[in-house]
């Protein structure tokens, strides 16, 4: 019987994933120049897949393309951390709340958490943590909301990797992840959302105390007056 060969990833995808891994592991540091010719030689490919990979990484915010400086790994400072985490604080807890209320499967989140616990390097841990968060928000029932959070997930992973390099606090984050997942599995949508908000906010305060981030938890969603009136008419509290 003839075996079916395993598909070989494209050169561009291979280069993209390897550059991303090097950035998230700290082998390529913020501000470091990424020279197409050098990377092509390292990976044994032409400059074309390197160029395409760098364009994709620029789109996700991991690298910056400048007419004068060329391509560099994105710098991470308090302002960058604030921008990324502010978006997450506004959107991610609400997405998780909707995921739980829909009764969506959280198997992918459980699997990602296990991979993070078993990770042997910063890049693997960062990518697994990123997938954990994605597994919480993607089943929210609003594809646009999921895509909006996807836009910042690589940048959030970079923020975490840089912060861990200065203060390896991933064990604390892992403990918070387990509590978030426990609440979600217990169908406590509001509790899980509050725990996730606190998790993101506390990380920023510890890692980037100068970020000046508004970490106030959002108010619970109030029922529309019509719904409240209807409950009153029905004799419900």
b/e string for 62-76 if b means 16 or more Cβ within 10 A? bbbeeeeeebbbbeb
Q: Is the pTM of this model over 0.85?
A: no
Instruction: Please state the rounded mean pLDDT for residues 77-85.
Output: 88
Most confident among 123-127, 161-165, 180-184 (mean pLDDT): 180-184
Contact, 133 vs 84, CB < 8 A?
no
Determine the pLDDT at residue 153.
87
Determine the pLDDT at residue 217.
56
Between CA 47 and CA 114 the distance in angstroms is 37
Determine the pLDDT at residue 213.
58
Determine the pLDDT at residue 123.
76
Assigned token pair, 139: 């089943």
Determine the pLDDT at residue 57.
93
């Amino acid at each position: 019987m003839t075996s079916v060969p395993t598909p070989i990833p494209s050169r561009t995808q291979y280069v993209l994933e390897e550059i991303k891994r090097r950035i998230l592991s700290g082998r390529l540091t913020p501000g470091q120049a990424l020279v197409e010719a050098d990377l092509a030689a390292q990976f044994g490919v032409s400059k074309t897949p390197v160029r395409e990979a760098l364009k994709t990484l620029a789109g996700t915010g991991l690298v910056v393309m400048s007419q004068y400086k060329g391509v560099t790994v994105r710098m991470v400072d308090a302002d960058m951390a604030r921008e990324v985490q502010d978006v997450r604080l506004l959107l991610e807890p609400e997405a998780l709340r909707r995921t739980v209320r829909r009764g969506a499967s959280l198997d992918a989140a459980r699997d990602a958490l296990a991979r993070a616990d078993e990770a042997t390097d910063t890049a693997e841990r960062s990518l697994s943590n990123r997938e954990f968060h994605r597994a919480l928000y993607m089943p929210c029932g609003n594809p646009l909301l999921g895509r909006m959070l996807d836009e910042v997930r690589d940048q959030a992973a970079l923020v975490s990797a840089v912060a861990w390099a200065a203060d390896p606090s991933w064990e604390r984050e892992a403990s918070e992840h387990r509590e978030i997942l426990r609440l979600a599995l217990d169908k406590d949508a509001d509790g899980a959302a509050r725990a996730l908000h606190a998790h993101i906010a506390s990380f920023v305060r510890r890692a980037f105390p100068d970020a000046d981030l508004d970490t106030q938890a959002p108010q619970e969603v109030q029922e529309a007056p019509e719904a409240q009136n209807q409950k009153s008419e029905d004799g419900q509290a």
